[in-house]
Amino acid sequence: MSTFNIAIAGLGTVGTGVIRLLQSNADFIIARTGRRIIVKAVSARDKKKKRDCDMTGCDWFDDPRQLAQLPGVDAVVELIGGAEGIAREVALSALKSGKNFVTANKALLAAHGAELARLAESTKIQLSFEASVAGGIPIIKGIREAMAANRINSVRGILNGTCNYILTRMQAGKLSFNDALQEAQRHGYAEADPAADIDGHDTARKVAILAALAFGAEPDFASVEVEGIRNIAPLDLHFADELQHRIKLLGVARLTEAGLEQYVGPCLVPQTSPLAGVDGALNAVQVKGDFSGDLFFEGQGAGAEPTASAVVADLIDLARGHFSPAFGIPAAQLKKLKAVKAGSGQMACWYMRLQVVDKPGVVADISAILRDEAISIESLLQHGRSQTESVPVVITTHAASAEVMRRAIGKMARLPTIIGQPCLLQIEN
Amino acid sequence: MSTFNIAIAGLGTVGTGVIRLLQSNADFIIARTGRRIIVKAVSARDKKKKRDCDMTGCDWFDDPRQLAQLPGVDAVVELIGGAEGIAREVALSALKSGKNFVTANKALLAAHGAELARLAESTKIQLSFEASVAGGIPIIKGIREAMAANRINSVRGILNGTCNYILTRMQAGKLSFNDALQEAQRHGYAEADPAADIDGHDTARKVAILAALAFGAEPDFASVEVEGIRNIAPLDLHFADELQHRIKLLGVARLTEAGLEQYVGPCLVPQTSPLAGVDGALNAVQVKGDFSGDLFFEGQGAGAEPTASAVVADLIDLARGHFSPAFGIPAAQLKKLKAVKAGSGQMACWYMRLQVVDKPGVVADISAILRDEAISIESLLQHGRSQTESVPVVITTHAASAEVMRRAIGKMARLPTIIGQPCLLQIEN
């Protein structure tokens, strides 16, 4: 039987998961590819660390850059992480040596995807990265192959399990943001330093990769507008519920006549949207094709096993001899799309929450500002009254541009009856 | 530029949709494959019929069997339908002539899938059928490629838009089955003769195809247990709602130690399941892999455009030179799995509705039967009282085998206080 030999750089949870999967499901994989996938070599920082997998027969290398030079290795699998440094060096050395390169590294792809795709094309080998976005969900293959007949208009998704877990717990358990974050950390859904997740940067990398694939463009991570979930209050989740919506951290990429919009931010989605039902640490992606219509994919977005499933799916494609351009079209044809502000091409509806002193005339002041900016009110919610304390007022609007909304919010923040910073969230229908 | 030449047999809504797609998105397809997909020849019953597509440059053939003989044709696309007759002849002649064969024909695949796969393998060409299950949802590719690293334990889905539309309207619009069916017919979601859809046979074909792919087996349509939705009353939908469930016509394939279970029937699914939120004519499929975990796919399961998107995705794979075994593994290795009754391998929980005469002792009689069969009650609902009329009683149970449940229901039906036939539905958690 012919073999397909790989070398793995990085033996954290995903790396050991890949080895366990290849052993545990070896019989299936042989049946499905006609080949045996063999881990010939591995590299990691600490040779002595105890790992939950059997590495009998794998050669050990202290320097992962050596893996690309090994004769008889068909693909290098990089599971180190990081846009620069060692991961990038492994990628460059593998691609330059004509080794297929499989990675779960979203930072690397978002920052250097176009360069790596060009390099892969020049040596006629494959750059695969199914595991870099949404863990076990086959969204890369979904866009690159399953939807290849379509003009894609937008891609949006819940791409960070940490944020989705926190928002779900804030909603269901009525927890504060900090309590929900601590619970997520206790359960292993959030890192000790959670900034990359909760501030939206992790999602932004995935948006850049999905946009590149969907629109045949170079990944443009620098242009993604990013807002995290730190400012979401339990109050907002409850008002959203009253409005038959859920608040989700969405990553959105949309191509309009104005240009490419890419943004990450907490948004209201209608409870009837499949995105609204995605709870806990799950991920989901919705892609709009001109012929397929909306396609929705949901599954586990992280974890050793789901991510290993995606990495090995890439390896099986290689073992079957499937080659596709990394971002769906030849690297030389990848466009540099004009980045535009979110909301430039298509106006959105908005949710805003203001904390107001409960005095006569406050709502009149707020509505006068909206009238002056020609913003049309869809609904206004105010519950409870208090002579001494402030009360929240929630307004949802009909379609308005982000610019106009921000100007209106700025004016409101200067009213003496408004306390603190208003909360402004887009409604993603 | 190299071309990829196809011939299309059958120019109904899907056939003309494929031609429109290939024209409308020709630029994308060239970028994504490096080739131009050209419709060289077509065949359909009526040459004079007005069709919503431009067929300039396509040669016309009255007999679709001629298409397989045309020199220079790389793939024959069959969109005629039906397990036997002309569609099968076109398939056989294409595969025997070494032409790749792309089809949307679920009946053909469910009945003759293994034979066609063997033939395709013998001439080293591809048999593709993404469009045969769930329209625009890439579930064939999802199982055959994206989940290829996994041992798959179960596949289940909402695979018939007609039934799902009817159940959705019965629920949301409080319509009777007949009114909902007529509405579906008026909106084009149901055929004039709706039997194949509402009696579950359409779903059963798709279950047989998905089971074959998921478990590496020959399609075994004859063993699928089938129950349709004619006996679902609006009452059941409302009780299900009270129990925080929805009723959906599910197609389920499950591989247990006992063997292969395949069934189609109306089931209760928890409102927290993504399947519960699939409304209207949408389709959805949930696949359980041992490493990926549950993956959920949702989209449009029918219609010219989504189905064309799936057909052309298959063509793009061919144009890119991707080949995969039709059912995921070589045809000679496809297993003949032992078919077992649904519920043999894993006991289910159940919903039953009984129409009872409202007299003292009725519930005691019913519960005695359940006790004697060792069936444990999870909940019992009875609303309203009436001295003259009958009232519905709904019972949900803890896990019990199908056999035991059917025996208990049989005993209940013989009680003089039970009117009509009890309704028994599985709860799919």
* B26 close to A (CB below 8 A): no
Q: Where are the alpha helices (DSSP H) in A143-258?
A: 161-172, 177-186, 195-198, 201-215, 234-242
ipTM, interface predicted TM-score of the complex: 0.96
CB A132 within 8 A of CB A104: yes
Query: Which of B21, B141, B289 has the CB atom closest to A145's CB atom?
Result: B141
Kindly indicate the confidence band of residue B186, based on its pLDDT and cuts at 50, 70 and 90.
Answer: very high
Flag the least confident range among A358-362, B274-278, B387-391. B387-391
User: Which H or E run contains A42?
Assistant: strand A35-43
Average pLDDT on A243-260 reads 96
Strands (E), B207-305: 225-226, 245-256, 259-270, 282-289, 293-300
- What's the angle, vertex CA B212, arms to CA A3 and CA B405, rounded to 5? 135
Kindly indicate the confidence band of residue A142, based on its pLDDT and cuts at 50, 70 and 90.
Answer: very high
* pLDDT for residue B388: 65
CB A218 within 8 A of CB A120: no
Kindly indicate the confidence band of residue A358, based on its pLDDT and cuts at 50, 70 and 90.
Answer: confident
Hey, are the CB atoms on B291 and A146 less than 8 Å from each other?
Answer: no
Summarize pLDDT for A56-81 with one digit per residue, the tens: 889 999 999 999 999 999 999 999 99
CB A371 within 8 A of CB A333: no
Average pLDDT on B398-426 reads 93
User: Which H or E run contains A20?
Assistant: helix A13-24
Kindly indicate the confidence band of residue B210, based on its pLDDT and cuts at 50, 70 and 90.
Answer: very high
Long-range own/partner contacts, residues A84-90 (CB < 8 A, 24 or more apart): A84/A111, A87/A9, A88/A112, A89/A65, A90/A9, A90/A64, A90/A65
Strands (E), B177-256: 225-226, 245-256
| CA dist., res. B386 & res. A192, Å (int) | 62
* B279 close to A (CB below 8 A): yes
Average pLDDT on A387-412 reads 90
Average pLDDT on B191-211 reads 97
Query: Which of A306, A329, A330 has the CB atom closest to B293's CB atom?
Result: A306
From chain B, pick out residues whose CB is under 8 angstroms from the CB of A278. 274
State how far residue B125 is from chain A, nearest Cα, in angstroms: 14
Tell me the pLDDT of chain A averaged across its residues: 95
Hey, are the CB atoms on B146 and A141 less than 8 Å from each other?
Answer: yes
Average pLDDT on B98-114 reads 98
Instruction: Kindly give, in sequence order, each residue whose CB lies less than 8 Å from that of residue B241, ignoring residues fewer than 6 positions away.
Output: B171
* pLDDT for residue A388: 65
User: Of A199, A166, A422, A179, which Cα lies nearest the Cα of A279?
Assistant: A166
* pLDDT for residue B167: 98
Average pLDDT on B178-191 reads 95
* B321 close to A (CB below 8 A): yes
* pLDDT for residue A385: 65
User: Of B49, B119, B50, which Cα lies nearest the Cα of B91?
Assistant: B119
Strand order from edge to edge, sheet including A127-128? A59-61, A35-43, A2-9, A75-78, A100-103, A127-128
Instruction: Kindly give, in sequence order, each residue whose CB lies less than 8 Å from that of residue B122, ignoring residues fewer than 6 positions away.
Output: none
Average pLDDT on A101-128 reads 97
Q: What residues of B are labeled active site?
A: 206
| CA dist., res. A57 & res. A278, Å (int) | 42
Query: Which of B148, B279, B313 has the CB atom closest to A149's CB atom?
Result: B313
State how far residue B18 is from chain A, nearest Cα, in angstroms: 10
Is the predicted pLDDT of residue B93 greater than 70, yes or no?
A: yes
From chain A, pick out residues whose CB is under 8 angstroms from the CB of B293. 136, 299-300, 303, 305-306
Is the predicted pLDDT of residue B347 greater than 90, yes or no?
A: no
Tell me the pLDDT of chain B averaged across its residues: 95
State how far residue A416 is from chain B, nearest Cα, in angstroms: 44
Hey, are the CB atoms on A297 and B293 less than 8 Å from each other?
Answer: no
User: Of B161, B421, B170, B93, which Cα lies nearest the Cα of B300?
Assistant: B161
Residue identified by tokens 């499937």 is A322
Average pLDDT on B300-305 reads 96
A419, β-bridge pairs: A355
DSSP per residue over A349-377, as a string?
EEEEEEEEE--TTHHHHHHHHHHHTTPPE
Is the predicted pLDDT of residue A212 greater than 80, yes or no?
A: yes
From chain A, pick out residues whose CB is under 8 angstroms from the CB of B300. 292-294
User: Of A123, A67, A126, A117, which Cα lies nearest the Cα of A98?
Assistant: A123
* B359 close to A (CB below 8 A): no
From chain B, pick out residues whose CB is under 8 angstroms from the CB of A149. 21, 25, 28-29, 308-309, 312-313, 315-316
CB A166 within 8 A of CB A177: yes
Q: How many CA atoms lie within 13 A of A167 on its CB side?
A: 35
Average pLDDT on B312-340 reads 97
Q: How many CB pairs under 8 A join A and B?
A: 203
| CA dist., res. B72 & res. B75, Å (int) | 9
* A269 close to B (CB below 8 A): no
Cα-Cα-Cα-Cα torsion B341, B347, B353, B355, nearest 10 degrees, comes to: 70
* B257 close to A (CB below 8 A): no
Q: Taking the alpha carbons of A172, A134, B275, A286 in that order, is the dihedral positive or negative?
A: positive
A423, β-bridge pairs: A353
User: Which H or E run contains B202?
Assistant: helix B201-215
Hey, are the CB atoms on B306 and A293 less than 8 Å from each other?
Answer: yes
Indicate the residue type of B252. Answer: V
Query: Which of A31, A274, A308 has the CB atom closest to B291's CB atom?
Result: A308
Q: Count CB-CB contacts under 10 A for residue B259.
A: 15
Phi/psi region, residue B122 (left: phi>0; alpha: psi -120 to 50; beta: rest), is alpha
Residue in B with minimal Cα distance to A135: B292
Strand A282-289 to B127-128 pairing: unpaired
Is the predicted pLDDT of residue B385 greater than 80, yes or no?
A: no
User: Of B226, B266, B225, B262, which Cα lies nearest the Cα of B246?
Assistant: B266
Q: What residues of A are labeled active site?
A: 206
Instruction: Tell me what percent of the residues of chain B surpass a pLDDT of 90.
Output: 91
Is the predicted pLDDT of residue B80 greater than 70, yes or no?
A: yes
From chain B, pick out residues whose CB is under 8 angstroms from the CB of A216. 28, 31
Average pLDDT on A199-228 reads 98
Q: Taking the alpha carbons of A279, A281, A287, A292 in that order, is the dihedral positive or negative?
A: negative
CA-to-CA dists, residue A248 to A279, A294, A347, angstroms = 9, 19, 19
Query: Which of A216, A274, A309 has the CB atom closest to B277's CB atom?
Result: A274
State how far residue A102 is from chain B, nearest Cα, in angstroms: 15
Query: Which of B31, B291, B305 has the CB atom closest to A305's CB atom?
Result: B291
Q: Considering only residues 405 to 424 of chain A, which have any Cβ-Cβ distance to chain B shorter than 8 Å?
A: none
| Choice between A403 and B92, residue whose per-residue pLDDT is larger | B92
Instruction: Kindly give, in sequence order, each residue whose CB lies less than 8 Å from that of residue B165, ignoring residues fewer than 6 positions away.
Output: B180, B184, B187, B189, B190, B280, B281
Query: Which of A25, A141, A292 has the CB atom closest to B149's CB atom?
Result: A25
Strand B225-226 to B259-270 pairing: parallel
* pLDDT for residue A387: 62
Summarize pLDDT for B23-60 with one digit per residue, the tens: 999 999 999 999 999 999 999 999 999 998 889 889 99
Average pLDDT on B182-209 reads 96
From chain A, pick out residues whose CB is under 8 angstroms from the CB of B330. 31, 34
Kindly indicate the confidence band of residue B79, based on its pLDDT and cuts at 50, 70 and 90.
Answer: very high
* A124 close to B (CB below 8 A): no
Q: How many CA atoms lie within 13 A of B165 on its CB side?
A: 25
Instruction: Kindly give, in sequence order, each residue whose CB lies less than 8 Å from that of residue B305, ignoring residues fewer than 6 positions away.
Output: A290, A291, A292, A293, B17, B21, B136
Hey, are the CB atoms on A145 and B149 less than 8 Å from each other?
Answer: no
Summarize pLDDT for B351-362 with one digit per residue, the tens: 999 999 988 888
Average pLDDT on A277-286 reads 96
* A332 close to B (CB below 8 A): no
Domain architecture of chain A: domains with CATH = 2-132 (3.40.50.720), 139-301 (3.30.360.10), 349-427 (3.30.70.260)
State how far residue A149 is from chain B, nearest Cα, in angstroms: 6
